[in-house]
Amino acid sequence: MRIGVIGTGRIGTLHARTLSRHREVGSLILTDADPARAQELAHRLGETAAPGVDEVFRWGVDAVVITAATAAHAELIGRAARSGLPVFCEKPIALDLPGTLQALAEVDAAGTVLQMGFQRRFDAGYAGAREAVRSGRLGRLHTVRAMTCDQSPPPAEWLPLSGGLFRDTLIHDFDVLRWVTGREVADVYATGSDAGPAMFREAGDVGTGAALLTLDDGTLATATATRLNGAGYDVRMELAGERDTVVVGLDDRTPVASTEPSGPPPADKPWNGFLERFAPSYEAELAAFVEVVRGDRPNPCDGREALRALRIAEACELSRRERRPVALTEIADQDRPPRA
């Protein structure tokens, strides 16, 4: 199997390395808007670099992995779909609903596969939480507390391209909240703070954000995120029911220090970022994609899932801007297929 990898930045480098080692993948064609970057990675991995996206399609591949900057995703998905190729794409599909819907329409029209990179669905901790909900071990779920805390902010110039904290970061929490609970979000109230480094204010973004989400069965959830968590990379989800409580992301590397005399000692080696914390999940989602391309398993996370997560992020942005609760039905109203 030959796979084209478009975008060889942080996550593209990781995915290309993983695919290059996969025994079902014969070769890769790598490309990037910065051709030297793709060349350098191809050289390191013993793979081939293409000077541009056109060549990836012209030279012929069996599938495409899109790890370019977010703004390029929708167009590249459309292009791969029109070529009849299965696609794995990093989240999100686009920074807005029309772009997302356009890409999904192309995939539907072509009848191709689009697998989204929500790697938390492949994390053992989140899978355990999902099982705890499904098995009834927790009893009726009443509260979920989700959080994503980056240790240090991305480069200032990256922020305006990211879509903001809710669409870029909390979208993972929104997706996995739906996946773990099996419920939809009914409404949100969100806020954010741009206190701290000026880069967030200058980008029109927030460095810390919080959302209160009501699920369609009345379960209450909070989702918080920050780009400034000095102690380390901290991603957790607590689920509390009438019978039991479980927590994802609590282990000997969780970057929290207990102030209780009998509490556990602080982590020796706290997680320092997503690449390390989710390394097995990134590998598992790509192994799944290879199976999907071979026709050996159904798509574990299709584009509609990404649309639903984006809707929640859009509702949060609207709520934050207008300082009011927002029902998801307000956002769903915009979800009409684009005119042919």
The residues that touch ligand NAD, with contacts defined as CB under 6 A, are 6-12, 31-34, 37, 53, 67-70, 72, 90-91, 117, 119, 168, 274
d(CA 184, CA 305): 11
CB of 190 to ligand NAD, least distance (A): 20
Which residue lies nearest ligand NAD, judged by its C-beta?
Answer: 9
Closer residue to ligand NAD, CB minimum distance, 69 or 256 = 69
Q: If you compute the radius of gyration of the chain from its CA atoms, what whole number of angstroms results?
A: 20
Closer residue to ligand NAD, CB minimum distance, 141 or 306 = 306
d(CA 115, CA 131): 22
CB of 116 to ligand NAD, least distance (A): 9
Residue linked to tokens 């064609």: 29
Closer residue to ligand NAD, CB minimum distance, 152 or 245 = 152
CB of 43 to ligand NAD, least distance (A): 16
Q: Fill in the DSSP letter of residue 339.
A: P
In three-state secondary structure terms, 209 is: strand
Closer residue to ligand NAD, CB minimum distance, 7 or 232 = 7
Q: Name the helix (H) or strand (E) containing 307.
A: helix 303-322
Q: How many CA atoms lie within 13 A of 220 on its CB side?
A: 3
Reading the block at residue 282, the tokens are: 């990134």
CB of 218 to ligand NAD, least distance (A): 30
CB of 32 to ligand NAD, least distance (A): 4
**302 Cβ neighbours under 8 A, 6+ residues apart:** 113, 114, 115, 116
- Please state whether beta strands 2-6 and 63-66 pair in parallel, antiparallel, or not at all (unpaired): parallel
In three-state secondary structure terms, 164 is: coil
d(CA 313, CA 170): 7
CB of 2 to ligand NAD, least distance (A): 18
CB of 21 to ligand NAD, least distance (A): 19
Closer residue to ligand NAD, CB minimum distance, 90 or 194 = 90
CB of 258 to ligand NAD, least distance (A): 28
| Among 254, 165, 145, CA closest to 208 | 165
Between vectors from CA 157 to CA 156 and to CA 161, what angle results, nearest 5°? 115
Q: How many CA atoms lie within 13 A of 184 on its CB side?
A: 11
CB of 67 to ligand NAD, least distance (A): 5
Cα maximum dimension of the chain: 65
Closer residue to ligand NAD, CB minimum distance, 223 or 240 = 223
Closer residue to ligand NAD, CB minimum distance, 219 or 281 = 281
Closer residue to ligand NAD, CB minimum distance, 162 or 219 = 162
Supply φ then ψ for residue 311, to 5 degrees: -55, -40
Q: Are 64 and 6 in contact (CB under 8 A)?
A: yes
Q: CB atoms < 10 A from the CB of 209, how many? A: 25
Closer residue to ligand NAD, CB minimum distance, 119 or 219 = 119
